[in-house]
């Protein structure tokens, strides 16, 4: 297409849709121009100027997100002060309330400590039990563990898989060709 008409800058990838020459249809979606456009050979610079991002677009694509993030950060810095309470260094004089839901109230502090301790122990328990099991199994000769389990070698071929288990039958001659042939043939 580019070789026939030198004024064309771009062309569309081929699609399954083409308008036949004797059609009477007009308007609607032109489906043959819905695929990806590509530049004609030697017209890449003009193609990029038509379809590429302009300098103003690049400027705004960089500065607008930075400006919005800066504005949000400034607003938080100015207005968020004291929302979670000020840090108190334990002198006891500044704002130590004695309300029912105070952080230092024993009916709040000790249940929170107990619940967080229980959750931490329950989260670590499977890892500790697995580690102890591997230690005891290794100590008493059950061995294994490791990366590949009790076989201590990775599955690499049919023969090594059969060696590790011993409960498999020999592959028939006709199935051997289908499965890849003998491994000893080389």
Let me know if residue 40 belongs to a domain.
yes
Strands 10-12, 37-39: parallel, antiparallel or unpaired by DSSP? antiparallel
Angle at 155 between CA 177 and CA 137, to 5 degrees: 150
Let me know if residue 141 belongs to a domain.
yes
Give pLDDT tens digits along the chain (186 positions): 777 777 777 877 777 777 777 777 777 777 766 667 888 888 888 888 788 888 899 999 999 999 999 999 998 888 776 666 666 666 555 455 555 556 677 777 888 889 999 999 999 999 999 999 988 888 887 655 455 555 555 556 666 555 655 555 666 666 666 666 555 554
Let me know if residue 45 belongs to a domain.
yes
**Are the C-beta atoms of residues 95 and 86 closer than 8 Å to each other?**
yes
**Are the C-beta atoms of residues 1 and 32 closer than 8 Å to each other?**
no
Let me know if residue 167 belongs to a domain.
no
What pLDDT does 72 receive?
94
**Are the C-beta atoms of residues 39 and 47 closer than 8 Å to each other?**
yes
**Are the C-beta atoms of residues 10 and 47 closer than 8 Å to each other?**
yes
What pLDDT does 67 receive?
97
Instruction: Report d(CA 85, CA 96) in Å as an integer.
Output: 11
Let me know if residue 85 belongs to a domain.
no
Give me the number of domains the chain comprises.
2
Let me know if residue 133 belongs to a domain.
yes
**143, 139, 171, 146: which is closest to 157 by C-alpha?**
171
- Which structural domain range is residue 133 located in? 103-148
Q: How many residues does the chain have?
A: 186
**Are the C-beta atoms of residues 88 and 104 closer than 8 Å to each other?**
no
Collapsed DSSP state (helix, strand, coil) of residue 71:
helix
Let me know if residue 16 belongs to a domain.
yes
Task: Name the burial class of residue 171, with classes exposed (0-12), middle (13-18) and buried (19+) by CB atoms within 10 angstroms of its CB.
Answer: middle
Let me know if residue 165 belongs to a domain.
no
């Amino acid at each position: 297409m580019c070789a026939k008409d030198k004024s064309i800058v771009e062309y569309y990838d081929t699609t399954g849709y083409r308008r036949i020459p004797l059609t009477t249809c007009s308007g609607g979606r032109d489906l043959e121009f819905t695929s990806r456009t590509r530049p004609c050979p030697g017209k890449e610079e003009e193609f990029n100027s038509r379809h590429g991002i302009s300098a103003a677009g690049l400027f705004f694509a960089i500065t607008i997100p930075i400006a919005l993030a800066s504005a949000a950060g400034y607003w938080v810095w100015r207005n968020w002060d004291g929302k979670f309470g000020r840090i108190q260094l334990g002198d006891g004089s500044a704002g130590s309330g004695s309300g029912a839901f105070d952080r230092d109230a024993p009916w709040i502090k000790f249940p929170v400590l107990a619940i967080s301790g229980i959750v931490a122990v329950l989260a670590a328990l499977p890892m500790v039990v697995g580690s102890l099991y591997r230690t005891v199994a290794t100590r008493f000769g059950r061995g294994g563990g490791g990366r590949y389990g009790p076989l201590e070698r990775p599955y690499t071929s049919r023969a090594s898989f059969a060696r590790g288990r011993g409960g498999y039958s020999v592959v028939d001659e006709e199935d051997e060709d289908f499965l890849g042939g003998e491994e000893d043939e080389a």
